[in-house]
Chain A
Amino acid sequence: MRQEDQFAIPAASQCLIAAASMVVPQAHRSAWRSEWLWEVWHAHADLVRQGCPPAQASRRVVRFAWGALRDSIDLRVEHWKAGVNRRALAREPLVCLAALLLVFLSLWAWTNGFHRSRVAAAASYPDSQQLVLLSRPTGVLGLESAASMEQVWSWVEESKWFGSVAGFWLHDGTLEVSPNFFAVLHTDPVLGSVRWRFLGRPVRTVKFLAPGSAELFGGAIARLKERANRSLFETQLGKLGNDGNHITATFLEERSRWPLYFASVSALVFLAMGVVRVRRTALYTVFFLAKTALLLGSVGLAWTEVATAIPIPITGGVDLGTAIPLVFLLLIGQAFVLRWSHQDQAGRCPVCCRQVAMPITVGSRSSLILDRPGVEFLCTRGHGTLRLSDLTACTGEPYRWTPLDRSWQEIFVGEKTA
């Protein structure tokens, strides 16, 4: 039997070392791996020579090889500390994602875990799945017109679905309600608490209106009859209404979540617009999606925090001066981050997602057809060049990627200045 066969390295140890070697910087990987494999070979040989049973020797050697993992991490950290080039590090896609994650977590900490968004999203009333909000929209910016109690009752009489109904008017932290309002809501208000909200707005005082008074209500809440079929009711929502006025009926639990829906839908629309434009590798697309989702998520949630603090639009009156700027703030914020995300993506290598670097001027201003002037960037791992034309025409892309063959990549292995 050959010595190599007698002291062969256990397969588990080989796998461990191979896995650990992936962590080691590429420039040192081969030497590090050989060194560890030889060490393991010797450790195994020493144990066998000392008379250790083969199975036990193999187990000990596997434990020994676990050290390779820690050694590889140590070497990687050491390499970062010694040769870290901040500019090169900033080009790494993981650094970009980590920075965005940090922004998201900072927002999370700042907003106390997106507290307001969660309060707005939660259905805070008992049996809220049976509660319906009735209102008369004017069709302009979600504005709702007032209705008298008689009108409210007529809505109920007209429909076979509702068991009880109560009117309300919400303005400036005051909730004016019909006497049966809290009986319909199945709860009592906890006034002064930031957690007690109605339609996303904190309620400080409650004023009961006498039955039969001539007061107008901004809307009404109704509770579906116990046996009412919710899905059937949903299909007939649009058929409510009398005297030619359209009445909207939405489930209260859904109504209370509107800021989240609005933020989420607009974020998804922007995201979809971006995905359509990305036509590169899977890694490139995944990186773009992750980056943009983090950005849009941060903007959407931060906006929801603000919007729930200053709620818009809401039954009982809309402050247009607040509502319009807030809606635009979200749209502009999302458009801004999406544009940044696109620009950042356009300046990245489609193979490794690192930002391209080393710009040089190329082309000639006297040759606008065959050799257009522009700036050419290089992937710091030698995957290709990205040419950014100074002059854009309908026939050419502003960014042109030219892949390089594998021989270029060897030049950049272990390059720290890149």
Chain B
Amino acid sequence: MKTPLSLTSAIILLAIANGRGYGFEIMDATGLPSGTIYPALRRLEKARLIRSDWESTAAAESNGPPRKYFRVTGEGKSALEAAEKRFPAVAQLKG
């Protein structure tokens, strides 16, 4: 059985599910500091709840260095649903 998500991880996962694709944007949306966001993103990715992809080279060339985008996986969606049941506040944020 997997360890249930913490509230912070659930909020970050929700932000990604809502289309906030990269670190700074997630930080803006959640109000959490960068020192919380980035370790959490790494753990979520390790747990396969999110996936990261680097921006395509062409886009990167026009917009500066490449950027890492995150998206929620199937497992991540299930985990988020479980977290919404566990944390009603997360469900309210989604609504």
Contact = CB atoms under 8 A, between A and B. Distances in A.
Interface string A30-61: 00000101110111011000000000000000
Contacts, number: 61
B33 A67 contact: yes
A121 interface: no
B48 interface: no
22 contacts: A3-B64, A7-B64, A38-B66, A38-B67, A39-B22, A39-B68, A41-B64, A42-B64, A42-B67, A45-B63, A63-B33, A66-B33, A67-B33, A67-B35, A68-B35, A70-B35, A70-B36, A71-B39, A74-B39, A74-B42, A75-B39, A75-B42
B39 A64 contact: no
A42 B34 contact: no
Interface of A: 3-4, 7, 35, 37-39, 41-43, 45-46, 63-71, 74-75, 78
B59 to A, nearest CB: 12
B34 A35 contact: no
A68 B34 CA distance: 7
Given A38-B67, A67-B35, 17 more contacts: A4-B64, A37-B65, A38-B68, A39-B22, A39-B38, A42-B24, A43-B24, A45-B63, A45-B64, A46-B24, A63-B34, A66-B33, A66-B34, A67-B33, A67-B34, A67-B38, A70-B36
Give the one of B42, B65, B67 with max A CB within 10 A.
B65
B24 A69 contact: no
Chain B, interface size category, equals: 10 to 19
Nearest to B39: A74
B37 interface: yes
B24 A67 contact: no
B35 A38 contact: no
Sort A-B residue pairs by CB-CB distance and give the 4 closest, nearest first. Answer: A67-B34, A70-B35, A67-B35, A74-B39
Interface of B: 22-25, 27, 33-39, 42, 63-68
A272 B42 CA distance: 50
B37 A67 contact: yes
A192 to B, nearest CB: 58
Interface of A, helix, strand, loop or mixed by DSSP? helix
Nearest to B66: A38
B35 A66 contact: yes
Contacts of A46: 24-25
A71 B24 CA distance: 14
Given A43-B24, A64-B24, A38 B34 contact: no
Contacts of A66: 33-35
Given A64-B27, A64-B34, A68-B34, A42 B65 contact: yes
B58 to A, nearest CB: 15
A67 B65 CA distance: 20
Contacts of A71: 34-35, 38-39, 42
A67 B33 CA distance: 7
Contacts of B36: 67, 70
A159 to B, nearest CB: 72
A62 to B, nearest CB: 11
Given A3-B64, A4-B64, A35-B68, A42 B38 contact: no
A51 to B, nearest CB: 15
A69 B64 CA distance: 24
Nearest to A64: B34
Give the one of B33, B35, B37, B64 with max A CB within 10 A.
B35
